[in-house]
Amino acid sequence: MSICYGAPVKSSAIFVALLALSLAACGSKKSEPDDKKQEAKKPATTAAKAVPGTSAPASAAIAAPAAAALVPVSDTYHGETVVDNYRWLEDWDDAKVQAWSKDQDRFTRATLAAMPHVKEIQTRVTKILSHSAVSYYGISQSGGHFFALKHQPPLKQSLLVRLSSLDDTSTEKVVLDPNVLDPSGSTTIDFYRPSAKGDTVAISLSKGGSESGDVSVYNVESGTAMSDQVPRVNGGTAGGDLVWQTDGTGFYYTRYPRGDERPAEDANFYTQVYFHKLGTKSADDRYEIGKEFPRIAEIELTTNKETGRLLATVQEGDGGKFAHYMRDAQSGKWTTLTKFGDGHVYIAFGPGTDLLVISTDDAPRGKLLQMPANGSVAKASLLIPEGKDTMVSSFWGSRSLVYANDRIFMSYQLGGPSEIRVFDTKGKAVSAPEQMPNSSAGSMVVLDSGNILFANGSWTVPNAWFSFDPASGKTEKTALVEEAPIDLSSVQIVRKFAISKDGTKIPVNIMIPKGAALDGTSPAVVTGYGGYGVSLAPRYRARTGLLLEQGFITAVVNLRGGGEYGESWHLEGNLVNKQNVFDDFAAALKLMVDESYTSTDRLIIQGGSNGGLLMGALMTQHPDMVKAVVSHVGIYDMLQVEKSPNGAFNITEFGTVENPDHFKALHAYSPYHHVKDGSTYPPVFFLTGANDPRVDPMQSRKFTARLQAATKKPEAVLLRTSFNTGHGGGTPLNERISQNTDVMAFILSELGRPFRNIP
């Protein structure tokens, strides 16, 4: 799960986000492919398609890729034998696997390049994604200055800047530009942390989408790197974090094993907290806490400026169970505040030395407790009881609960949209900031002035940063406003509720462009996620705008497995309940057709990561429900996913084959295991990144091979591999343009639609 706001990248977002699992299957045997005996004959050629009803001619024939060899491997799980014919495609170090992958990529790119209107599509996508309007995120304040990550097309990567005023961007100074460090665009800022005085800043940098970040310390005024270099601070699924000591002489940080401290298979696990003193060697850093943490610990660090107390929030994998630890600034002693599984999911510094605790214990939508720093949660007092809406329990820097000037500011989830609410120290609601309706609001920052800075945006309006003065009650927009590259003001937003298989109401957020027919003839693209407690809140996306201006109706579904309606909503879509997510999505697609927003032969679905699993499950369970599928960095083999290098992190969300009940559920919906020979599946476009640290690219390789072998039209199963990117974070602008061009070309071609040239 990854969102970066001046904090480490964790969802995705993107898309969030954020996702994969460890533990070997029972009785596994592995053999190598025998190319001479097993490999299927390579088809000679296949012709690229022309768009029906247009004058676009078919291109010259493109040589089809070789079919994957069948090398059966048998596994026995709880007495049931499962055969895997493509286990060999999991080994990226095997030259045969790389050759097969590159052959698939060659065919896919050539096929996409031959589709009609590609040049026009690329021109439009480039114009939109390279739009000169900038956006700011990850904002913080230190030493009287503001720091932010700045997205500035056509630069490939975001840069770190400092501003003297939120109302005057001319005061901006570039602190670090990774595009200068690495002109190839492969280096990205994972996160940054300025010291309290704002004169130095620690920055984690990683390459090629790996998210494997080392921290360097920079002098803000000169922009030069200091001698301090701290390796292995940030990673993929487990992320990473850092906070400065209040006097600026050093910082606490998350540290992965180095050298031979752990076996190779544990290199990206067992994160712990260390302290680095400026001017010293990283090898001499002091251990703080973490030896008692689980193998799959994910750690977030926060500090209190007034007291110097340090809070470590530790998540056990990605399943939503947390423990909290506090370090006293004077004694250096760590105290355990909460334990895994007790339902206390988030802690923030509150009035005086007290702490504010969001708890889901007997309150799945959250209740707010107040406890003394030297006390226990058992003796905490109830400040705000559970209500009909969900308290957002943020993790990885999204800042959904803050305290300032005798006010408590908290983000609430309303089933998709979110809003900020304000309370006094007695828990009574008081005046809140002005916010757009049907929008998302959060990422709060307490400013030196006592004001609260927050971001607010909607499906049709990009994020802007606002300052709220609790004393006067005034909300004012700052100069940090993202200009919309596509005007979506005429788009109509409709919120419907589909009825899932078990009767549960599922929110469907539908975006209808002006002039779209509502008689079933409009094309549509529908997406969803449904996992890890991640909520899909309203968000302006330029790539959605590209579809809307082409006449597509688009929809985002708030599925179970997310956090839109609290922890019970999440639990109804994880572990053995995962099938609910797929039933929810099928119900939403049925609504889109039944209510004439689109028709089956005009309906495209798109998703990524855990949402890629959603794509695979839908197309194998309901192959006749959609026209085509686009799936990014997805998970498809649910029996092997936990063997991936980072696999153990997600056992808490998906389960493990070691547990008979989990195995039964995993095997029942695993897309890879439910492909049937001779069946007709919708055309599918898979995208993956070779350096993905979250979802092993072998997932896309194996599912591609299985579908190509089973379907009557193997050329309709396309696999595109980006060989210098990962799960999505840190993908340079030029590659994002290329990916979005290919996706749009695929969608239009499958629907037989021409491209509308828009000046």
- Rounded mean pLDDT, 473-492: 96
- Do the beta carbons of residue 747 and residue 132 sit within 8 Å? no
Banded pLDDT at 398 (limits 50, 70, 90): low
Q: Model's pTM, two decimal places? A: 0.91
Tell me the backbone φ, ψ of residue 419, rounded to 5 degrees: -150, 160
Q: What is the pLDDT of residues 682-699, one digit of tens each?
A: 999 999 999 989 999 999
Is the per-residue pLDDT at 50 higher than 70?
no
- Look at residues 16, 682, 92 and name the one whose alpha carbon lies nearest to residue 318: 16
Name which of 4-8, 77-81, 402-406 the model is least confident about: 4-8
Is the per-residue pLDDT at 22 higher than 70?
no
Could you write out the DSSP letters of every residue in 600-640?
GGGEEEEEETHHHHHHHHHHHH-TTS-SEEEEES----TTT
CA distance 651 to 324: 21
Burial class of residue 111 (count of CB atoms within 10 Å of its CB; 0-12, 13-18, 19+) = buried
Phi-psi region of 733 (alpha: psi -120 to 50; beta: other; left: phi over 0): alpha
Residue 586's contacts (CB-CB under 8 Å, 6 or more residues apart) are 501, 618, 621, 622, 625
> Which residue bears the tokens 């053999």?
31
Q: What is the pLDDT of residues 331-364, one digit of tens each?
A: 999 999 999 999 999 999 999 999 999 999 999 9
Stronger pLDDT, 599 or 732, i.e. the higher one: 599
- Rounded mean pLDDT, 76-81: 98
Name which of 9-13, 614-618, 665-669 the model is least confident about: 9-13
Q: What is the pLDDT of residues 445-461, one digit of tens each?
A: 999 999 999 999 999 99
Q: How far is CA 37 from CA 177, 582, 701, 714, in A?
A: 53, 39, 21, 21
Phi-psi region of 57 (alpha: psi -120 to 50; beta: other; left: phi over 0): beta
HEC per residue, 295-349: CCEEEEEEECCCCCCEEEEEEECCCCCEEEEEECCCCCCEEEEECCCCCEEEEEE
Stronger pLDDT, 107 or 17, i.e. the higher one: 107
- Rounded mean pLDDT, 663-676: 98
Token digits for 488?
């979506």
Token digits for 75?
């596994």
Q: How far is CA 113 from CA 99, 117, 719, in A?
A: 21, 9, 14
- Do the beta carbons of residue 30 and residue 85 sit within 8 Å? no
- Check residue 16 and report its DSSP letter: B
Q: What percent of the chain has pLDDT over 90?
A: 86
Question: Percent helix, strand and coil across the chain, each rounded to 5?
Answer: 20, 30, 45
State which H helix or E strand residue 545 sits in.
helix 542-548
Token digits for 397?
């820097």
pLDDT value at residue 378: 85
Stronger pLDDT, 249 or 759, i.e. the higher one: 249
Strands 464-469 and 474-481: antiparallel
CA distance 217 to 557: 42
| Identity of the residue numbered 192 | Y
Is the per-residue pLDDT at 717 higher than 70?
yes
Residue 535's contacts (CB-CB under 8 Å, 6 or more residues apart) are 392, 413, 416, 418, 558, 562, 563, 564
Is the per-residue pLDDT at 57 higher than 50?
no
pLDDT value at residue 8: 35
Token digits for 573?
């879509």
- Do the beta carbons of residue 751 and residue 551 sit within 8 Å? no
pLDDT value at residue 379: 86
> Which residue bears the tokens 């896309």?
700
Cross-strand pairs, 368: 358, 384
Burial class of residue 109 (count of CB atoms within 10 Å of its CB; 0-12, 13-18, 19+) = middle
Stronger pLDDT, 730 or 736, i.e. the higher one: 736
- Check residue 385 and report its DSSP letter: -
Q: How far is CA 311 from CA 285, 318, 391, in A?
A: 19, 19, 20
Q: What percent of the chain has pLDDT over 70?
A: 92
> Which residue bears the tokens 């007695």?
426
Token digits for 625?
């429900």
pLDDT value at residue 136: 95
CA distance 252 to 334: 13
- Check residue 713 and report its DSSP letter: -
Mean pLDDT score across all residues of the chain:
91
Token digits for 284?
């001499």
CA distance 317 to 271: 12
CA distance 381 to 371: 6
Banded pLDDT at 30 (limits 50, 70, 90): very low
pLDDT value at residue 643: 93
CA atoms within 13 A on the CB side of 547: 27
CA distance 145 to 162: 7
Name which of 97-106, 130-139, 552-561 the model is least confident about: 130-139
pLDDT value at residue 397: 58
Is the per-residue pLDDT at 38 higher than 90?
no
Long-range contacts of 57-61 (CB under 8 A, 24+ apart): 58/114, 59/114, 60/114
